[in-house]
Amino acid sequence: MAKQLYIETVGCQMNMLDSELVVASLRKAGYVVVDTPAKADTILFNTCSVRQHAEDKIYSALGRLKHAKKYNPNKIIGVLGCMAQKDQKLIFERAPYVDLVVGPGQLHQIPELIEKIGQGAGQQLEVSLDRKAGSREEIEQSFESYDPLRDPQMRPTPFQAFVRIMIGCDKFCTYCIVPSVRGPEQSRPAAQIVAEARQLADEGCREITLLGQTVNSYRHTAAGHTSRLSDLLAQLHDIEGLARLKFVTNYPKDMTDDLLAAVRDLPKVSTYLHVPAQSGSNRILQRMKRGYTVEDYREMMARIRETVPDSSVTSDFIVGFCGETDEDFDQTVELVRESRFKNSFIFKYSERPGTKSVQLHADDVSEEVKRRRNNDLLAVQNAISEEDNQPFIGRRVEVLVEGPSKAAQRHDDGSEQLQLVGRTPCDRIVVFDGNRRQVGQLLDVTVYDANAFTLFGSIVTAHVGPEVYTL
């Protein structure tokens, strides 16, 4: 019988892509994917360290597996990704029944490591070199990626795929663990990215989202020619079969005019820009070492609005960062009010061991104040999201159909007619009634209602009117 794999993924899109690649390699080794840990021969957690909460979730999931091996001593339990890189041996100490700890740069070794464990080799640990443990070149080599092994069945839909264009990050924002767990910033060769996108398009993929921690810092030189993100988008735009191109996450300082012109001029590129501001206070931005002022951010917003007026912009914010006063927070609220983001992801500051802010500043904003600021900022943002969705009522939008809506998934009776969900080019979610065959298609939908998070519409049916005879 085929071996059974259960995999759980938390964290960002990088992790979703990594899980897809891990599953692809294990399927080649004879595994099938199952949806509960109870049945599985191998249980993998692909983890995130960006906030304490993400780590706690995994440690408690591991805690629940304490007795899992009583019934099946051959069961293999593995911890992959960012927390594996960060905690390394500590994971074996906290959960001695874990067999496998693999950092994000070593995921391609998993089939081999699982085989070794099966042969009785005991616990396996594979992680990259620490950022200070060698020359830049050695450290870069220890963070490998193995992207072309794709697996359509592990993607949220077969029509949408992530393509990594960079790994790592060199920005070192003081609060952030990512540079130490994902290693140095490295851009992939443009030719490799284009080849991967072509393969995906040939497999029926319609939408590609390019991934990088600071995706618009992409820069790769080969044979004396440097490609930037705008050049890459132009090349990808020519691939037949692809209908949409997106890219996340943008770094405010690298939002250059050539990139905005590419978004304006290339029709397949979504008019959607995720450019986290993090704070509206210069004092806090400086403490975060973000490398820009709120005036720079405003100037960037003005250029976006001028070059791509119909674009939607989204942001991330951290509330309650070290030393954040009510005045600092008010400035963040002000920035959200004037920027009119489509939506914002708001996080309470979570101190990460080993980051610069731990050395430099005290985590001195109380949990209660963090929670209140989080709720207050979210309320301001949600009111804007709702207001800015209203003008869509009565408009016709182009939607890439992603699949059954959440409600339809809950009550799936297998019928052909069902409620579908898709997105506009500016990344707004649209819910409408349709047919299973329409999944993966680009359709015109007329919007008849809207709330802060969703547009509701009906498919525009192209029908031939009655013939008119003139006498």
Cβ contacts of residue 121 below 8 Å, gap of 6+? Answer: none
Using rule CB under 6 A, residue 211 touches ligand F3S: no
Q: What is the DSSP letter of 129?
A: P
Q: Is 296 in the site for ligand SAH (CB under 6 A)?
A: no
Q: How many CA atoms lie within 13 A of 359 on its CB side?
A: 5
175 binds ligand SAH (CB under 6 A): yes
Helices (H), 203-309: 229-237, 257-265, 282-288, 294-307
Q: Which residue among 15, 216, 250, 270 contacts ligand F3S (CB under 6 A)? A: 15
The correct pick among 178, 205, 245, 400 for binding ligand F3S (CB under 6 A) is 178
Contact indicator for 154, 137 with CB cutoff of 8 Å: no
Extract the tokens encoding 362.
Answer: 């005290």
329 lines the binding site for ligand SAH (CB under 6 A): no
Per-position x/- string for 336-375, each x denoting binding to ligand SAH as judged by CB under 6 A, each - no binding: -----------x-xx-x-----------------------
Tell me if 255 sits within 8 A of 246, measured CB to CB: no
CA atoms within 13 A on the CB side of 331: 20
Q: Are strands 100-102 and 76-81 parallel, antiparallel or unpaired?
A: parallel
166 touches ligand F3S (CB under 6 A) = no
Report the DSSP beta bridge partners of residue 130: none
- Taking CA atoms, 221 is separated from 230, 318, 404, in Å, by 14, 34, 42
- Asked if 51 is part of the footprint of ligand SAH (rule: CB under 6 A), the reply reads yes
When binding is defined by CB under 6 A, the residue of 22, 43, 44, 48 that contacts ligand F3S is 48
Give the footprint of ligand F3S on residues 358-387 (CB under 6 A): none
Of these partners, ligand SAH, ligand SF4, ligand F3S, none, which one is at the site of residue 15 (CB under 5 to 8 Å by kind)? ligand F3S
Residue type, 191: A
The residue within the footprint of ligand F3S, chosen from 7, 14, 167, 255 (CB under 6 A), is 14
Q: How far apart are CA 368 and CA 374, in angstroms?
A: 10
List of residues contacting ligand SF4 (CB under 6 A): 169, 171-173, 176, 178-179, 213-214, 251
- Rule CB under 6 A: choose which of 22, 26, 43, 50 binds ligand SAH: 50
Q: Which of these segments, 11-19, 131-139, 249-257, 376-384, binds ligand F3S (CB under 6 A)?
A: 11-19
* Site residues for ligand SAH per CB under 6 A: 50-51, 175-176, 178, 213-214, 249, 251, 276, 278, 316, 318, 347, 349-350, 352
